[in-house]
Homo-oligomer: A and B are copies of this chain.
Amino acid sequence: MNTANGNFEITENLDSLTYGFLGLGLMGGSFAKAIRTEIFTNENSQGKILASDCRIQTLEEAKKDGIIDEYFSVENTKEMLKQCDVVFICLYPKATLEFIKNNIQFFKENSIVTDISGVKTELIESLPLGLQGLNEKTTAQFIPGHPMAGSEKEGYLHSSNKIFNNRNYILMPYPHTKEENIKILKSIIYKIGFTNIITTDYKTHDHKIAFTSQLCHIIASALVESAEDTEITQFGGGSFEDLTRIAMINAPLWTELFLANKTELLSHIESFEKSLNRIKLQIENSEEKNLQENLELVRSKRILMVENQGK
């Protein structure tokens, strides 16, 4: 696992590239907006931002907002792909796989293709060319990615160029991915606000993300489910609110993510259940000293996590 940081040398002329978006929802929209404001800072930029989405109204709106230069219906996506130097596939996991499978031959020569899917094993192992990426049928290279940012609100309407600020990004290049392509993608990522890029393999990604992201969404959901009524927030002091904000969940998306990463996720749920049960027993048996020692350890561990966050 490598962590890149501010010493990274950003590729120049990122505004001469043409960017294409498949899906212009919360994430696609936020990427497009951030590229528009952070990369296309020069009025004479040669590059373009293109987008395709099944919601034509969204595309029209994004064009009116000056975020995208041109848009394409889903039927004409290949017309878009042949112009794009960098393609962001901002679709749900299964749709991402379908899209790559069906469009592999339409990507522009030597282009960079990336995605934002929150689970990778199924996607990567199902891709026609497996671990090698796209390079048998095309010179385009697929670099799996996962921006660790989002919102409980959905759609282009809630997209924003600010949601990436100070966030983590996980990249999973293949062994044969060109260094130059990784450098360009990292440059874009840093430019639009992310401060920490982690390079790892897709198995590690799925294992870690099952904990930091999926398990947390499940806990938040279970906590809301277990609430006796919806007026409990009258008694809230911030803790319940912070723990359950992510329970305002995009149900179809997270159902896909949970099921696609089932094995990893179930193992993390079980570890969590064990820890919870341990604290429960300490309370049940009034083990004051053990409970307090346990909480002291938890506190120290969490403080260390904050310190390690920025490394």
Partner-B contacts on A (CB < 8 A): 1, 3, 147-150, 167-168, 170, 196, 198, 205, 208-209, 211-213, 215-228, 230-249, 251-252, 254-255, 258-259, 262, 265-266, 268-269, 271-276, 278-280, 283-284, 286, 288, 291-299, 301-306, 308-309, 311
Contact = CB atoms under 8 A, between A and B. Distances in A.
Copies of this chain, whole number:
2
Max chain B C-beta neighbours (<10 A), residue from A196, A259, A311: A259
B230 A276 contact: no
Given A196-B234, A235-B148, A308-B231, A298 B266 contact: no
A251 B55 CA distance: 52
25 contacts: A148-B238, A208-B235, A211-B227, A211-B240, A212-B239, A215-B223, A216-B239, A219-B219, A222-B276, A224-B302, A226-B275, A230-B301, A230-B308, A232-B305, A233-B308, A233-B309, A236-B309, A247-B302, A248-B299, A248-B302, A249-B298, A251-B296, A255-B288, A255-B292, A266-B284
Max chain B C-beta neighbours (<10 A), residue from A218, A242, A252, A276: A276
B272 A223 contact: yes
B223 A275 contact: yes
A219 B243 contact: yes
Given A221-B294, A226-B268, 6 more contacts: A3-B234, A205-B235, A219-B243, A233-B305, A258-B283, A273-B273
Contacts of A266: 280, 283-284
B299 A283 contact: no
Contacts of A236: 148, 168, 212, 309
A230 B305 contact: yes
Given A242-B242, A247-B299, A296-B251, A262 B235 contact: no
A291 B248 contact: no
B243 A243 contact: yes
B243 A216 contact: yes
A303 B248 contact: yes
Given A213-B240, A239-B213, A227 B148 contact: no
Contacts of A288: 255, 259
A303 B280 CA distance: 29
Nearest to A218: B279
Contacts of A304: 230
Given A255-B288, A295-B254, A239 B246 contact: yes
Contacts of A218: 276, 279-280, 283
Given A222-B279, A237-B149, A232 B212 contact: yes
A302 B249 CA distance: 9
A179 to B, nearest CB: 22
Given A301-B230, A303-B248, A217 B239 contact: yes
Nearest 7 interchain pairs by C-beta: A148-B237, A251-B295, A216-B239, A222-B275, A222-B276, A225-B275, A208-B235
